[in-house]
Amino acid sequence: MPKMIFVNLPVRDLTASSAFYVALGGTVNPQFSNEDAVCVMFSDAIGVMLLTHAYYGGFTKRPIGDARTSSQALIALSAESRDDVDSIVNRAAAAGGTADPDPVQDLGFMYNRHVEDPDGYVWEVMWMDPSAVDGGAQTD
């Protein structure tokens, strides 16, 4: 089985957050979803677990922070093209997010925008020119 990553996020409104993450490009996995949690998969190996505050609190003794007032993580999601970056951010904003809480970055070979979810978590949606990545690869 390949390694997988699951980002666990406490959310205030499970329905609203689910709509946002589906608009961001994920697919709900009903096998790991219920009234306390929704699993949204972005690939076979990358998932986001949206957890109600009560349920999330069962996994940690630490208080739940407020992503609207302090940065807690920087999470990036790749896109297929520059146009795809714009499309993803626009869909996510239309589903309850906030587009571009941070400045757009356009370096020519790399383009990214940000979108904030209903709880304040900021996602960087980015595209990088594959030839720029290939050109920088080193072999031994």
What is the structure's pLDDT at 131? 87
Three-class secondary structure of residue 73 per DSSP: coil
Question: Domain limits of the chain?
Answer: 5-135
**Average pLDDT, rounded, for the chain:** 93
**Residue 138 above 90 pLDDT?**
no
Give the global pTM. Answer: 0.86
Summarised one tens digit per residue, pLDDT across range 85-104 is: 999 999 999 999 999 999 99
- Domain 5-135, CATH number (from 3.40.109.10, 1.10.3720.10, 3.10.180.10, 3.40.50.2300): 3.10.180.10
Tokens, residue 47: 């998932």
Report how far residue 86's alpha carbon sits from residue 70's, in angstroms, rounded to the nearest whole number.
25
